[in-house]
Structure 1
Amino acid sequence: MHTSRSRVAGLGVYLPEITRSTAQTEADLRRHNPKLKLATGMIGRITGVKSVHLRPPGWQTSDLAVAAARKALADAPGPIDLLLFASASQDLIEPATSHIVASKLGLDCPVMDIKNACNSVLNAMQVADALITSGQYERVLIASGEQPSHAVRWRLDSKDQFLRSFPGYTMSDGGAAVILERSGDLSGILGSTFVAVSSHWQIGTLGTGGSMDPHADNGSHFDMDGPALQQAFLDLGPDAVLATLQKLDLHWGDFDLVAIHQVALPYLPPIFERLGVADDKTIITIEDHGNLASVTLPLQLLLARDAGRIGEGSLVALIGLAGGISLGVMVLRL
């Protein structure tokens, strides 16, 4: 008898049709800041991002999650006995956004929010897996809605402020959903590892509404040191990921897909090199879709599935990188 596991039963991603090109972002920055010396094409050259998605007018974070959840439920119909809202974004501080998502979906199951920046969905999968394998739930819906566009700083006081606001110009709105259920065969989550170096929490912040800035006097925009964030992850190194593979007696050649969170295109080659991952094992989403925060990994899963790169029996690694900082790796058999 095989060990109890949870498996990915359904996927759904919602990407708003409204987009903003990087060229338009640069034009808007020049319009709002006539004194800003911004070389044409600089944002694209530094990040590799061509465009980002923007939520439809009037849409909330929960609406993005609901749109994706409906797709996942169509992909894997059946009852849901727990809803996890997993996102860096939220509708309100109180109540939990999971209640709003459940209400809009017409669900009456227990709910809770899971929040850990860009690793929110990956951590929610970790939690759902534990709850399913312990026998508490059978089918868990994880829904994410990311709406970072509201926190982009358009009016700048200095060059330093521009540099610390820079990562926000490549962030995208979107929704993702994953349904996990008890596996009846050898498919499912095979193992995972999560680590954090929390002394780096000040590298990137968004203080809106928290006790440090309850009225958003100073924290309504992203404030991030991008190079410091990249260096923090390079310093953390690949040990946690490689140890997970060793524990499972796996090698990168065994995998059909290695999905990894993507902040900027130039950041990826050094990470792939440190991990020892070949380019043909990955899928690039940052160019056409921007940084979708916790929506990124589900999007890569869905794109790979739709392209026929993965399917039943495929071996997949999900590698999450999040502010704080956190790193997570999850290995699963579809």
Structure 2
Amino acid sequence: MISVRGARPARARLAALGAYAPERVVTNAELASRVDTSDEWIVTRTGIRERRFAAAGETAGDMAVAAAEAVLASAGVTASQIDMVIVPTGTPDAMFPSTAALVADRIGAHDAAAYDLSAACSGFVYGLAQAAALVEGGMARSVLVIGSEVLSRVTDQTDRGTCILFADGAGGALVTADEGGTATGFLGFDLGADGSGGDDLVLPASGDREAVPGGPVPASGCIRMDGPAVFRFATRIMVETTERLLAALGLGIGDIDLVVAHQANSRIIDHAAERLAIPRERIFNTLERYGNTSSASIPMALAEARDAGRLRAGDLLLLVGFGGGLTWGSTVVRYEPLGAEVPA
């Protein structure tokens, strides 16, 4: 990617969506066969009935490639037109090279810059913020943001507190420069982090803080979560970030056509809906079928909403992410697909 300063700024446009879900379906009944739980217990506490697990040998990069190709097909653009590939993920194929670099190569975006982004479940909104900034700063014309996770491999499948939640999948979006100067684009973002709660949701094996003394092997390879602490944070921050952003934009919930939040737990979303007075018909959830796919959850839900006819060109969206870090991110954006876009 070559960037020349001084290029005319353009409005960043949410131009296309795409997603990929692995074939293997894992039901609550399957989980109940190995941990002390039941379908009723899981559904009551989370809203999840089933989730998808990646096939043996299927990686975050593999799923990101499938989602990226779906985005490109929907947009009617070629990989050679992409300037940047950003992959928010907590489960990269390797610490380096970046999964994004591998994805860019495999889809044929050979001139694109590429990097991974680590913001856990807020990663997709963080990625959109960076894509919008790159486009509106004149550094890129087309940016792919693809959230992809294989959380099943870093979840202790005997731990009832986490195995019922986390799953695998990928989803993404294309952010482009508006050529006609008429796009509404991204109206604003609210991003933040509170590292004092970092240990409330952590994957120790992804770094060297808990490496075994004298050796390179990390001490723990699975997610650790303080469920009550994360729940308290999520219920609070989803309301606060939404209120801050809407107030800054001079908008109300009535101005929003569709709300898509990180798919973590139905009780978190229900709490926010009640506090913010969001009509149920303006919220789109996929928790029942896909569980918590972290950085992939919002784009997967967006693509499904589009395919189900719940998301239409011109709709004003509120997207809200929250999760490990502890991080949060929200944005208000108008969905302005390219003319060639069709459901993948």
The TM-score, its normalising length taken from structure 1, stands at: 0.89
Amino acid corresponding to residue 165 of structure 2 in structure 1: T
Q: Where does residue 5 of structure 1 map in the other structure?
A: 11
Amino acid corresponding to residue 270 of structure 2 in structure 1: P
Q: Given the superposition, is the C-alpha separation of residues 95 and 246 from structure 1 closer, same or farther in structure 2, using an over 3 Å criterion?
A: same
Q: Give 3-state SS (helix, strand or coil) of 1:221's partner.
A: coil
Q: Where does residue 107 of structure 1 map in the other structure?
A: 109
1:21 equivalent to 2:23? Answer no
Q: What is the CA–CA distance in structure 2 between the aligned matches of 1:146 and 1:107, rounded to whole Å?
A: 21
Among 130, 134, 143, the residue aligned to 1:127: 130
Q: Which residues in structure 2 correspond to 1:89-100 (within 5 Å)? A: 89-100=91-102
Among 174, 179, 191, the residue aligned to 1:179: 174
Q: Where does residue 210 of structure 1 map in the other structure?
A: 207
Q: CA deviation at 1:39?
A: 5.7
Q: Where does residue 163 of structure 2 map in the other structure?
A: 168
Q: Where does residue 263 of structure 1 map in the other structure?
A: 264
Q: Which residues in structure 2 correspond to 1:1-334 (within 5 Å)? A: 4-29=10-35, 38=37, 41-76=40-75, 77-78=77-78, 79-108=81-110, 109-155=112-158, 162=159, 166-183=161-178, 184=180, 185-214=182-211, 215-236=216-237, 238-334=239-335
Q: What is the CA–CA distance in structure 1 between the aligned matches of 2:304 and 2:61, rounded to whole Å?
A: 23
Higher mean Cα deviation, 267-276 or 208-217?
208-217
- State the identity %: 29
Q: CA deviation at 1:237?
A: 6.4
Amino acid corresponding to residue 52 of structure 1 in structure 2: R
Amino acid corresponding to residue 45 of structure 2 in structure 1: I
Amino acid corresponding to residue 14 of structure 1 in structure 2: Y
Q: Give 3-state SS (helix, strand or coil) of 2:164's partner.
A: helix
CA contact (8 A) 1:258 1:318 kept: yes
Higher mean Cα deviation, 282-291 or 216-225?
216-225
CA contact (8 A) 1:257 1:282 kept: yes
Q: What is the CA–CA distance in structure 1 between the aligned matches of 2:231 and 2:274, rounded to whole Å?
A: 14
Q: What is the CA–CA distance in structure 2 between the aligned matches of 1:278 and 1:199, rounded to whole Å?
A: 34
Q: Give 3-state SS (helix, strand or coil) of 1:118's partner.
A: helix
Q: Give 3-state SS (helix, strand or coil) of 1:242's partner.
A: helix
Q: What is the CA–CA distance in structure 1 between the aligned matches of 2:38 and 2:187, rounded to whole Å?
A: 47
Q: CA deviation at 1:269?
A: 1.6
Q: CA deviation at 1:41?
A: 3.9
Q: What is the CA–CA distance in structure 1 between the aligned matches of 2:264 and 2:292, rounded to whole Å?
A: 5
Q: CA deviation at 1:126?
A: 0.3
Deviations 1:28-82 (Å, cap 9, x if unpaired)? 23xxxxxxx5467433332221111011221111000000000001111141011
Q: CA deviation at 1:297?
A: 0.9
Q: What is the CA–CA distance in structure 1 between the aligned matches of 2:38 and 2:293, rounded to whole Å?
A: 25
Q: Give 3-state SS (helix, strand or coil) of 1:119's partner.
A: helix
Q: Give 3-state SS (helix, strand or coil) of 2:55's partner.
A: coil
CA contact (8 A) 2:121 2:323 kept: yes
Q: Give 3-state SS (helix, strand or coil) of 1:28's partner.
A: coil
Q: What is the CA–CA distance in structure 2 between the aligned matches of 1:144 and 1:233, rounded to whole Å?
A: 20
Q: Give 3-state SS (helix, strand or coil) of 1:91's partner.
A: coil
Amino acid corresponding to residue 27 of structure 1 in structure 2: S
Q: What is the CA–CA distance in structure 2 between the aligned matches of 1:238 and 1:132, rounded to whole Å?
A: 29
CA contact (8 A) 2:238 2:320 kept: no
Deviations 1:161-217 (Å, cap 9, x if unpaired)? x4xx61233211111121100123133111111122221111011111411133455
Amino acid corresponding to residue 329 of structure 1 in structure 2: S
Amino acid corresponding to residue 11 of structure 1 in structure 2: L
Q: What is the CA–CA distance in structure 1 between the aligned matches of 2:255 and 2:143, rounded to whole Å?
A: 28
CA contact (8 A) 2:321 2:330 kept: yes
Higher mean Cα deviation, 65-74 or 141-150?
141-150
Amino acid corresponding to residue 99 of structure 2 in structure 1: T
Q: Given the superposition, is the C-alpha separation of residues 237 and 81 from structure 1 closer, same or farther in structure 2, using an over 3 Å criterion?
A: closer
Higher mean Cα deviation, 38-47 or 115-124?
38-47
Q: What is the CA–CA distance in structure 2 between the aligned matches of 1:38 and 1:313, rounded to whole Å?
A: 43
CA contact (8 A) 1:188 1:333 kept: yes
CA contact (8 A) 1:51 1:170 kept: no
Higher mean Cα deviation, 126-135 or 278-287?
278-287
CA contact (8 A) 1:208 1:219 kept: yes
Q: What is the CA–CA distance in structure 2 between the aligned matches of 1:104 and 1:230, rounded to whole Å?
A: 38
CA contact (8 A) 2:170 2:300 kept: no
Matched pairs, number: 318
Structure 1: runs of 5 or more not aligned:
30-36, 156-161
